């Protein structure tokens, strides 16, 4: 008998139910402690942001410290822009009950929590003074211009197994 396996990788939405079903750093709805061991650590997963995120803040001039973005001049004002492209991979920096802090680059992390209605982990923002929600990056507050409700995906690998059976008939002879 021969056994073959084919693999196919898909990205699925990260939900609280998924975390609990697979014990991804969570046991009975609580973060696994040193006394209790989860089957899998949430840090073992590769996370992906499902939507493009664009963050902006106004700076007073070109001499201002620009963390990881780029400065553009818009209507006579200097604007620092940070872009997280759709599909950018990230890792779990901090694992909490009902929340994950995902880092897309060294030194910064964004908080994701499950949406109350869908259960899918979404980027957490703070209501800003104006019309845009805000988020903190490297100690600076940015307006979230796009992707304020960006969601997380994780990789799921499906393995389909196929069994093959082969035998050769010996044949029959008259005695």
The reported pLDDT for the residue numbered 78 is: 82
Domain ranges of the chain: 2-160
> Mean of the pLDDT values across residues 39-66?
78
Percent of the chain with pLDDT over 90: 37
Please tell me which residue, 166 or 159, carries the higher pLDDT value.
166
| pLDDT bracket for residue 162 (50, 70, 90) | very low
Q: Report d(CA 31, CA 98) in Å as an integer.
A: 9
The reported pLDDT for the residue numbered 131 is: 80
> Mean of the pLDDT values across residues 164-169?
71
Question: ∠ CA 117-122-123 to the nearest 5 degrees?
Answer: 140
Question: Is the pLDDT confidence value at 66 over 60?
Answer: no
Work out whether the CA dihedral 134, 47, 138, 64 comes out positive or negative.
negative
> Mean of the pLDDT values across residues 44-69?
77
> Mean of the pLDDT values across residues 111-123?
95
The reported pLDDT for the residue numbered 49 is: 96
| pLDDT bracket for residue 140 (50, 70, 90) | confident
| pLDDT bracket for residue 23 (50, 70, 90) | low
Are the CB atoms for 102 and 92 separated by under 8 Å? yes
Whether the full predicted model's pTM is greater than 0.85, yes or no, is no
Work out whether the CA dihedral 135, 140, 144, 147 comes out positive or negative.
negative
Are the CB atoms for 92 and 45 separated by under 8 Å? yes
Name the burial class of residue 124, with classes exposed (0-12), middle (13-18) and buried (19+) by CB atoms within 10 angstroms of its CB. middle
Q: Report d(CA 21, CA 19) in Å as an integer.
A: 6
Q: What is the pLDDT of residues 80-101, one digit of tens each?
A: 889 999 999 999 999 888 899 9
Are the CB atoms for 132 and 144 separated by under 8 Å? yes
């Amino acid at each position: 008998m021969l056994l073959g396996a084919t693999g196919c990788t898909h990205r699925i939405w990260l939900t609280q139910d998924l975390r609990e079903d697979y014990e991804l750093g969570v046991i009975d709805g609580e973060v696994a402690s040193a006394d209790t061991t989860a089957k899998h650590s949430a840090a073992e997963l590769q996370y992906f942001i499902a939507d493009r995120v664009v963050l902006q803040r106004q700076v007073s001039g070109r001499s201002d410290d620009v963390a990881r973005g780029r400065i553009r001049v818009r209507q006579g004002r200097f604007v620092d822009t940070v872009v997280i492209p759709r599909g950018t991979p990230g890792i779990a920096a901090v694992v909490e009950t009902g929340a994950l802090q995902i880092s897309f680059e060294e030194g910064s992390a964004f908080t994701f929590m499950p949406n109350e209605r869908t259960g899918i982990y979404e980027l957490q923002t703070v209501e800003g003074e104006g019309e845009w929600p805000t988020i903190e990056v490297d100690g600076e507050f940015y307006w979230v211009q796009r992707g304020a409700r960006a969601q997380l995906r994780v990789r799921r690998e499906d393995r389909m197994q196929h069994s093959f059976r082969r035998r050769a008939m010996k044949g029959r002879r008259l005695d």
